[in-house]
Amino acid sequence: MRFNIVDKLVRSQGDADAQDGSVNPLEMFYPFAAIQNAWFEYWVDAAQRSILFWDTLRERGNLFLAHRAAGEPPILDFDYDLMLDARTFKHPANYALLRIHPKPGMTIDPKKRPFIIVDPRAGHGPGVGGMKEDSQVGVSLRAGHPTYFVMFYPEPVLGQTLSDVAAAEARFVEEVTQRHPDAEKPCVIGNCQAGWAVMALSAVEPGLMGPVVICGAPMSYWAGADGKNPMRYLGGLAGGAWITSLLCDMGGGKFDGANLVANFERLNPANTLWIKHYNLYDNIDTERERFLEFERWWTGFFLLNKEEMTQIVNDLFIGNKLQRGEVRLNGARIDLKDITAPIVVFASSGDNITPPQQALNWIIGVYGSDEEIKRHGQTLIYSLHPDIGHLGIFVSGKVAQKQHHEINETIDFIDVLPPGLYELVVEKMPEGAGDDPDDRYLTRFEPRSIEDIRALDDGNPEADYFAPVKQVSELNTQFYEAFIGPWVRALATEPMAETLREWHPLRLQYRLLSDENPFMWPLKMLAPMVRAQRRPAAEDNPFRANEHRLSENVIAALDHYREWRDRTQETLFKAIYGPKALGAFLYDAEDLAVEKVAPIVRSKREQADLDAAIERAKERMDHGGFAEGWARIVATLMLGSGGINELELEAGRKAREQHPKLARLSVAERKRLLKEQSHMVQLDPDRAIGALSSLLPTPQERREAWNMAKVIAVGDGAIDPKQQSVLDRLSQALELDRAA
């Protein structure tokens, strides 16, 4: 209610005084009336927002309870069919394969490459990859790809191991491949924890799947930048993996995923304690649905077996064994060099859970040099977002519309890129370029080197500090299992374990703020009345502005606390485990040598075999026909022009499909040709280009092959100087001027 009487009185008196030139005496007191108006307006708005805010939290609690009562199904915005349930397999696991149904208006082509999205089992339940239409699932369906989703159930199967999970996921990929015999092998997307799991499976069973896309996936667990990535220090400050064993034993052999979520929430206290809730309170009229949509997934906590969790912590987070090839899966040693499928790594500089160093440094540790990547015929692509957070990589609509869309659009082109390291750069589509007016972005693959990845790091030797943590963890775990673990396991009953889970602070807060609490019942009646009489304060209300300033001060204070806490933890960690502390006594030369990536040393026999393979490749440079010549010209253009974009690749595809000698090439033959010829160009560019005349003996063949290269170069509407230089060199080698 505004003071309308005062307003009218001021206006009427002002009109009368204006006629005789006198001063309105009420103007002296009007500012106080305006303040009263603003305060009353703000007070009503704040009271209404408070009621609606707490009612939204009540609804969140009810959603939490309803989701649990329904068995905690995946939080997907799409209908689906259950295809395979791994709980029925010979070696059971609590995983299942779903086939996602398209929404009205989405048309699926069964001959297109299928996509399999694997969600992370890292505390929360499944669904983050498809919880809304602008998601990985939605992007895949809109592009017409058959889309599948790998989910998991809240309770693990008794005795389930990571090997059982890997075997189940391998069966899922085989099932999808069999269902689409006319399509290329499935592209598998692994989010966060699922990323390293998919990579491990691809290494153990090379050739099982098509391109692998890992998003926000930790692969090099010790990596990070000093002062920026404090989460990696927590294991060392806790004394290693023994605390994980203790929590599992107290949980009756199961690890509660709520503990992982709590660690995540403690990472950013400003967001956990204030930003998330104040944003809802501040924008209660528009944020309610979005808040509840996200909280449906955020409030679901799933369990892991002790065998799974302790292997993850010991082998990966503490031991950092994945990139060193010391982890075993299905009885086989995981060597990431064995992966034959192209790999796309998506990371963000704003991700404080999996920073770019943890997502990319494994490439340095596994390959060590650009030559090793090419020698293994591997194609590695990475894409870096400048500031999105960890969860935003999977659930942000902006990311889905940009990075995920472009990765999806170019996934078939990735297969034909020459072996090497590339950065996937997403730019705005130039005016008038492209056939699709709705396509706003242009993807370019730019060649990179190992040194570009090193430049993302701060150069500090992580192994000097983390190798001692591994030693301390092993000692503490042995002590725990020998003297403490048996007593804990003897005392921890299943009712006790269930009680501890129910009384976990995260679960307890949702239950207290739900209809289970009778003190919340009045909100159910008040909220509809408030919505019907909603009177938000004006944006320029001074008390509203003061509220925003108060919020900014609270956030700043919590951020200062976080920075102080993180610096303290980092300083304490280095004081305990540094080279002049425990590191001086617990020294592991092998760990240090591997982490510092010593130059690759081969035996005389290995070097001889490599030299012989190179010579055989060089000897084949003069062998072949039009298809080999075309592939070599395309490879020369891609490698020599400093990158290629999706419009140029699409132009090359159309030109190839229209040529009678190339249109009949199968997908496998095309990939083989391009990789073989790229390898030759990389080994000896001058000799490879000089031999083109023997592969294309007639002037007509030379002109046709060169014209196809020009079609690629002009695919985006212009030929840049580097491309023109390559075309000129090819024209000279093919003697096109003389032939003309």
Indicate if the pLDDT at residue 568 is higher than 50.
yes
Spatial distance between the Cα atoms of 355 and 373, rounded to a whole number of angstroms:
23
Q: Are 495 and 349 in contact (CB under 8 A)?
A: no
Q: How far apart are the first and last CA of the chain?
A: 88
The mean-pLDDT minimum among 70-74, 320-324, 334-338, 617-621 falls in 617-621
The label of the residue with tokens 């300033």 reads 549
Choice between 720 and 302, residue whose per-residue pLDDT is larger: 302
Distance CA 178, CA 40 (A): 68
Query: Which amino acid makes up residue 638?
Result: M
Alpha helices, DSSP H, located in 578-625: 589-595, 604-619
Nearest to 672 by CA among 708, 717, 620, 720: 620
Rounded to an integer, the average pLDDT of 281-289 is: 96
Average pLDDT over the chain, rounded to whole?
87
CA 461 → CA 323, 466, 518, distances in Å? Answer: 16, 9, 56
| pLDDT on residue 7 | 47
Give the mean model confidence (pLDDT) for residues 174-198: 94
324 neighbors 593 (Cβ within 8 angstroms) = no
Residue with more model confidence, 713 or 392: 713
- Number of Cα atoms under 13 Å in the Cβ half of residue 17: 12
């024209």: which residue's tokens? 731
Write down all domains in the chain, each with its CATH number in brackets. Answer: 43-69+227-319+463-593 (no CATH), 80-222+320-456 (3.40.50.1820), 604-739 (no CATH)
Indicate the range of 91-100, 487-496, 542-551, 617-626 predicted with least confidence: 617-626
Of 705, 710, 708, 702, the C-alpha closest to 728 is 710
C-alpha–C-alpha distance, residues 317 and 135, integer Å: 28
Whole-Å CA distances, 110 to 107, 176, 178, 183: 10, 11, 12, 7
- Give the pLDDT band of residue 495 (cuts 50, 70, 90): very high
**Confidence (pTM):** 0.89
Identify the H or E element spanning 256: strand 254-256
pLDDT for 365 equals 87
Whole-number percent of the chain with pLDDT over 90 = 54
Predicted confidence (pLDDT) at residue 269 exceeds the cutoff of 60: yes
Say what the pLDDT of residue 109 is: 93
Q: Are the CB atoms for 597 and 368 separated by under 8 Å? A: yes
Nearest in space to 513 (alpha carbons), one of 55, 69, 67, 124:
55
